[in-house]
Amino acid sequence: STIRKKKKMSSSVSPSHNVFVYGSFQEPAVVGFILECTPVIVSAQLHGFHRYRLKGRLHPCIAPFETGVINGKVLTGLTDAQLENLDMIEGDEYERKTVEVVLTDTLEKMEVEAFIWANKDDPDMYGEWDFEEWKRLHMEKFIEASKKFIEWKKNPNGKTREEFAKFVNEDPPKKKMSSSVSPSHNVFVYGSFQEPAVVGLILECTPVIVSAQLHGLRVIVDVAVTGTDSKGVKGRLHPCIAPFETGVINGKVLTGLTDAQLENLDMIEGDEYERKTVEVVLTDTLEKMEVEAFIWANKDDPDMYGEWDFEEWKRLHMEKFIEASKKFIEWKKNPNGKTREEFAKFVNEDPPVA
C-alpha cells in the first residue's frame, strides 16, 4: 500500500473519494456531523488487518495482521473538503493509504482509502475493539465531540486540534465530591449483578456498566450441605469471592450509584458478605480504579467449592433471579412484617424433588 498524497486537480471537476471506516465513523449520526451530510454507505471487509483497542482512547486503530479480517463500511463519493475533514480529525497518528476491500453484498473488490495507525508496533494497541459496545457506552459522547469539531473548524478562535482531541479520550477517574454533594459509588460485581436485567430491577435503573478484572481473588460456588449424600446437597444460585493469590476475576463495574442504590445492594447481599474497597483494572483502558466489592465474610468457609460459571447461570437460573429481584423490590417497598429471609429463599437452589 502507498500513502496517498494530495494531488493538484488538473480538470475542472474534483474526483470523489471512497473511504473504508471501521470505528466510530461507521455510525451515520457521527459521520453526518463530520462530513456535514450523510454519504451513501456500503458494508465491506478488509483482509490482512486487525482492529485494536487503544489504551486511554475511545476509538480504535488498525494495523497489518496476516490472518485478520475487519468488518466495516465504505463512505462513498466524498468531496475533497469532506476528505480533508477526515484527515484533520484523524491527525498525524494515522496514515491514509490505499487498500483493497471486498463489498459484502456483491463480493466485488474495490480500491478505497483507509486510515491506518502509523506506529504498527505501538504498545498502546491491544485486544479487539467492539463497535456494539462503543455504541452503547460512548456514542453519545462522540456525537457531542463531532459537533465540537465542526464548530472548531469553522471558528478555531485560537484553539488547536488538541481542544477537540480531548473529547475522544477516555474520561479520567472522577475526583471525590465536596461534602455538600452525596458521593457516587462504583461497585465491582462478578455474579448475577453482571446481568443488566437483574441489576436494573435491584437499582430501579440500569447504570453505566464497564468491564473490569479483579486480581488476587477467586469466584467460588457457595453451598450449604443439608444431607449426607449428593442428593441431600442444597446449594445457592449465587457465588462468592474470597482471597486467592493467583486468582483473576472477570466482572463488571456498576458506576455512579447513589447512596440509596448502594443500600439496596447491601440489603440484598446481607451479612454473609462484607463490602470492601478493592482495586480493579478496566478492560478497555487498562487503567486501575478503586471500587467496592462484596467479599464473603468467612474466607475459610468449608461450604465454598469450585468455580462459578456466569454463562451457565444465565442459561439455567437467570429467569428465576429476575423474578427474585422483583420480589426483593416489592418487599423493600412494603415489608408487611416479612424479613429479608423471605427474599433469600428465592436465590437458593431448589430442594431435591422427593
In tens, the pLDDT along 317-351 reads: 888 888 888 888 887 777 776 665 655 555 555 54
Tell me the pTM. Answer: 0.48
C-alpha distances (whole Å) from 129 to each of 54, 135, 199 are 8, 11, 25
Mean pLDDT computed over 156-184: 57
C-alpha distances (whole Å) from 221 to each of 58, 135, 191, 288, 301 are 35, 34, 10, 27, 11
Mean pLDDT computed over 105-131: 93
Q: Which residue has the higher pLDDT, 7 or 69?
A: 69
pLDDT in tens, 260-299: 889 889 888 888 899 999 999 988 888 888 999 999 988 8
Residue pointed to by grid coordinates 494515522: 94
- What does the block give as the cell for 208? 453505566
DSSP 229: S
**Is 317 within 8 Å of 326 (Cβ atoms)?**
no
Percent residues over pLDDT 90 in the chain: 34
151 is catalytic: no
Given 27, 66, 84, 90, which residue is catalytic? 90
Report residue 29's pLDDT band, with 50, 70 and 90 as the boundaries.
Answer: confident
For 184-335, list the strands marked E by DSSP.
185-189, 209-225, 233-257, 273-282, 288-296, 304-305
Report residue 226's pLDDT band, with 50, 70 and 90 as the boundaries.
Answer: very low
Count CA within 13 A, CB hemisphere, residue 213.
Answer: 11
Mean predicted lDDT score pLDDT of the chain: 81
pLDDT in tens, 40-76: 999 999 999 999 999 888 899 999 999 999 999 999 9
